[in-house]
Amino acid sequence: MAEDLEQGTREDATADRRIERVNPARRFLTPADALQAIHEGNERFVNGTPLHPNQGADRRTALANTQEPFVALFGCSDSRVAAEMIFDVGLGEMFVIRTAGQVTDGVVLGTLEYAVDLLSTPLLVVLGHDSCGAVTAAHESYESGDSPGGYIDDLVARIMPSVAHARAQGREGIHGAVAQNTIDTVKRIPQRSPIIKRALREGRLEIVGLTYRLEDGRVSTVAHLGPIVDAEGQPVDLLTRG
Ligand SMILES: [Zn+2]
């Protein structure tokens, strides 16, 4: 028993040292540093070589009275898109909110504002994924004109504009609707939240939209907002800036 505990502590310490090398200046992480850490973590997950960093007893104890997550993630509730696992992060690193189809409402925006304004999180990730049930329901509802019923109607109603938008943009099928829903969600967040828009403009925050492939676990970037704004003061998608 004592040996097991000692072994566990040693492994925790080793994992902590590894993540120190990956990400030595966590406290003052910039948006670019946070984005790099996220991509490196996803690469480890994809390759089947996760470090499972910062998940030991020492880390748990150290965080009892504080948290400094370097990323806020707003993603789909799908059981296969487990946020901390697919980016190989540990306790206190990722501030997570998930709803089916990652649809926004006032409570979601308030939660994201808490992360950005009170916890000074430098990166916000919006995460969609292929074969999303909520997006599929919206897509089918768009095709048939029927509503699924119950409060699922609330989800579908919020995704439906992106289904129509995807068609208009030439993005076909469920995959196109997933990408469009992710892009639209990225843009909607600073449009609706002045607090988040200010953080973007001041360079304290970047927002990226990623889509996740269930089969290989890899993420692709579909939108990226930073401090650059257009003539109307709206954040410009850096991916399509030309
Ligand atoms: Zn989903």
Instruction: State pLDDT tens for residues 54-90.
Output: 999 999 999 999 999 999 999 999 999 999 999 999 9
Q: How far is the CA of 14 from the centre of ligand 1 (A)?
A: 35
What is the number of structural domains in the chain? Answer: 1
pTM above 0.85, yes or no: yes
Q: How far is the CA of 98 from the centre of ligand 1 (A)?
A: 10
Task: Tell me, yes or no, whether 242 lies in a domain.
Answer: no
Q: How far is the CA of 51 from the centre of ligand 1 (A)?
A: 26
Q: How far is the CA of 85 from the centre of ligand 1 (A)?
A: 16
The CATH number that applies at residue 62 is 3.40.1050.10
Q: What is the pLDDT of residue 24?
A: 39
pLDDT digits (tens, 9 = 90+) for 147-186: 999 999 999 999 999 999 999 999 989 999 999 999 999 9
Task: Tell me, yes or no, whether 163 lies in a domain.
Answer: no
Q: How far is the CA of 147 from the centre of ligand 1 (A)?
A: 18
Per the CB < 8 A criterion, the answer to whether 95 and 69 are in contact is yes
Average pLDDT (38-56) is: 96
Q: How far is the CA of 29 from the centre of ligand 1 (A)?
A: 29
Q: What is the pLDDT of residue 28?
A: 53
Place of tokens 């990730």: 125
Task: Tell me, yes or no, whether 6 lies in a domain.
Answer: no
Task: Tell me, yes or no, whether 16 lies in a domain.
Answer: no
Task: Tell me, yes or no, whether 120 lies in a domain.
Answer: yes
Task: Tell me, yes or no, whether 156 lies in a domain.
Answer: no
